[in-house]
Structure 1
Amino acid sequence: MRVAIAPTGTALPVVVADKQGFFKAQGLKVTFQVSNVSISDQLATLGRQFDVAMGTQPALITAAAHRIALANITGGAIDSKANPQTDFVTSAASGIKSYAELEGKNLGALSLTGNIHYAVLNAAKQAGAPLDKANWVVGTVPQLPDTLRAGRADGIEEIEPFASMTVANGGVSLGSPFRSLGDEAFLGIFLASKGWADANEETVLKFNTALSQAADWIKANQADALELMGTYTGASKAVLAKTRIPDYRFQTTAADLASVQGADTETWIELLREFGNFKGRVSPADVLPGWAK
């Protein structure tokens, strides 16, 4: 299996499963590569350069509406009230201290089809500041803090460990945009081409089981896990010392995948209809492996 990961805490279970031998114990040969391209661009590599890539619910649903056959094979990191993993960070010079002040500003996004982005749109609308007229600058996870520092954006959406790093360097935290959706939300999902996922149920579930074992190891070995995070994110020890490792939740059976990710997909379809001019007809069954029932 060839897996593309992002340089973020959400990818940590993949690295741990490789280093601790959980993939090997499942009889899997997995190679991973850290990618710095945007999530939307990464989807084009599935079924070609990679078998599995990290992605988001909005990108998946939008792809399905355009008849690009992809499948959600498991969830991953959780953004929760107790353990937030995302933030919207503004520059001190902008004077912006709440989502209610974002209307009409220059803002940095990780992806205009990403779940963090739609959560930001939802948070701003709930605060009475719809972002219809915002000027968006799209960048990768490591690029956006530099965009903020250079004054090209008044605020940026970010993920750990770069969110904490940006705040530590003088940024102003507005809090996780996912709180506009509830106390917890899947921060991301793992995607594959639907044809590959449909034909590889056993492999997918073994992959998910290895990730779940990695999540247990991370919880029991926080210091070692943070050290591993530094090997692929490039974050310094000082930044990692202040970084919150995510909680993770992976689906290891077909029934669990259908139940958990099916419900999550419904939530995101409704958000896309509200904020994405989305008029496509997509159901959870369209974006899950055929055996996920």
Structure 2
Amino acid sequence: MSPVLQPPPRRTTRRSVLAGAVALIAGGALAACGGSSGTASTKAADGSTTVTVLRSTGSTFEPLYIAEQQGYFKAAGLTVTIKAGAQDTSQNAPSVLNGEAEFAMTDSSGFLKAAAQKLPVRVVSNLQAATTKTPPSDGLLVKKDSPIKSYADLEGKTVGLAALGGTLQFICEYSTKQAGGDPSKIKFVALPLTSLNDAVQQGKVDAVYTFATFLDAGKAAGLTAIGQGTNALPGLPQALLFSSQAWLAKNADTAKKFTDAISKAIDYANANPDAVRAVDTQYTQLPADYIKNRTIQQFSAPIDTGVMQTVITNMVDFGLLKAAPDSNSLLWDQAATTTNSQ
């Protein structure tokens, strides 16, 4: 999860947020469809194929830099430029569609919103997904004496989020539904990420959903974590890579070399957590103590197709998607898949 997402404070309805988000994604991306995303890859002076990838501004991009550092890109004949993309990663779609980048990162909700608008983008690889193999790095926080003891108790309550309509709102609603509650009776409000813990401590909201160092800080300050965070749905994509359908059609060999290099980097990252910490130190704004002590979440390349369908069905049910995207228009035909997330 991106630890530097800091949207301005606002109070709004789920319907208005969804409409605004979809308008931004669709408007920018459709205007870009006349660009060069379908052109063939270009060559560098040394004969390697040049590729640009837009990463998140927070974290979970560590395998990209590890692939570069370990020489996996070079061995594949690729010269890869890694650049910070939009703070809201769902807004990276226009850059991919107009040819500014061949690949970009987002999360499951960001990608599905674009896909639901029939934008010609495809997932090429997962980077990280929720898993019960490691402790949750995100979660719902309440005051120690709160009457909220489970997600079912959120009915009629106000929950603060750093951004509305995304994966964290989805998992909050999903966990409420799984606990037997009614997600439609929760009021979500957007607050600056750095003020979430204070907001619940001061009683401005009944609960907050936060992540990374902010989750740890909240628990250290006496707040109580409820549930299992995104681990409640193992296989839920927290970070994935996508490209344009047109570019993939003309550059399948390059795309396969890129995703194979990422897969090797994921294996290396999982076996060498200090390499992940080194990337965090150089490229993130995470505090040094947090980087040193945090549990390194597992990375994974395959997309769980069953979980993706669960996400789609529930996002439509919760009003986070106006309509379900065509399941045949989500994944690149060479993307690694699974149905056995744990």
Provide TM-score, normalisation by structure 1.
0.81
From 186, 202, 208, the equivalent of 2:253 is: 202
The match for 1:227 is: 278
The match for 2:315 is: 272
The match for 1:39 is: 89
The match for 1:149 is: 198
Give structure 2 stretches of 5+ with no counterpart: 1-50, 337-342
The match for 2:171 is: 119
Shift in alpha-carbon separation, 1:43–1:191, aligned structure 2, 3 A: same
Q: Does 2:151 align with 1:102?
A: no
Shift in alpha-carbon separation, 1:291–1:185, aligned structure 2, 3 A: closer
Q: Does 2:139 align with 1:88?
A: yes
- The one-letter amino acid of 1:239's match is Y
- The one-letter amino acid of 2:309's match is E
From 2, 14, 24, the equivalent of 2:74 is: 24
Shift in alpha-carbon separation, 1:281–1:117, aligned structure 2, 3 A: closer
Shift, 1:124, TM fit: 1.4
Distance 2:221 2:103 in 1: 34
The match for 1:6 is: 56
Shift, 1:133, TM fit: 4.1
From 73, 92, 96, the equivalent of 2:124 is: 73
The match for 2:14 is: none
Distance 1:89 1:145 in 2: 15
Shift in alpha-carbon separation, 1:229–1:73, aligned structure 2, 3 A: same
Q: Retained in 1: the 8 A contact 2:156–2:187?
A: yes
Shift, 1:73, TM fit: 0.8
- SS of the residue corresponding to residue 191 of structure 1 reads strand
The match for 2:331 is: 288
Distance 2:84 2:228 in 1: 25
Shift, 1:77, TM fit: 0.9
Shift, 1:277, TM fit: 6.3
Distance 2:266 2:225 in 1: 27
Q: Retained in 1: the 8 A contact 2:54–2:105?
A: yes
Shift, 1:79, TM fit: 1.6
Shift, 1:269, TM fit: 2.1
Shift in alpha-carbon separation, 1:282–1:78, aligned structure 2, 3 A: closer
The match for 2:7 is: none
Q: Retained in 2: the 8 A contact 1:148–1:154?
A: no
The match for 1:244 is: 295
- The one-letter amino acid of 2:195's match is D
Distance 1:191 1:223 in 2: 27
Shift, 1:119, TM fit: 1.6
Distance 2:183 2:88 in 1: 21
Shift, 1:149, TM fit: 2.5
Distance 2:208 2:102 in 1: 30
Distance 1:18 1:159 in 2: 27
Shift, 1:2, TM fit: 2.2
From 172, 178, 188, the equivalent of 1:136 is: 188
> Once the two structures are superposed, what CA deviation does each residue of 1:53-81 show, in whole Å capped at 9, x if it has no partner?
22223332332222222111111213211
Shift, 1:94, TM fit: 7.7
Distance 1:192 1:117 in 2: 25
Distance 2:181 2:57 in 1: 31
Could you list the structure 1 runs, at least 4 aligned residues long, displaced by more than 6 angstroms after superposition: none
Distance 1:42 1:239 in 2: 28
Distance 2:160 2:96 in 1: 26
From 94, 97, 105, the equivalent of 1:54 is: 105
CA RMSD of aligned residues (A): 3.0
Shift, 1:234, TM fit: 1.4
Shift in alpha-carbon separation, 1:158–1:230, aligned structure 2, 3 A: farther
Shift, 1:161, TM fit: 4.8
Distance 2:177 2:329 in 1: 29
> Once the two structures are superposed, what CA deviation does each residue of 1:65-119 show, in whole Å capped at 9, x if it has no partner?
2222211111121321121444224253783453233333332335444333212
Count, aligned residues: 281
Q: Retained in 2: the 8 A contact 1:69–1:195?
A: yes
Distance 2:230 2:251 in 1: 32
Percent of paired sites with the same residue: 25
Provide TM-score, normalisation by structure 2.
0.70
Larger Rg: 2
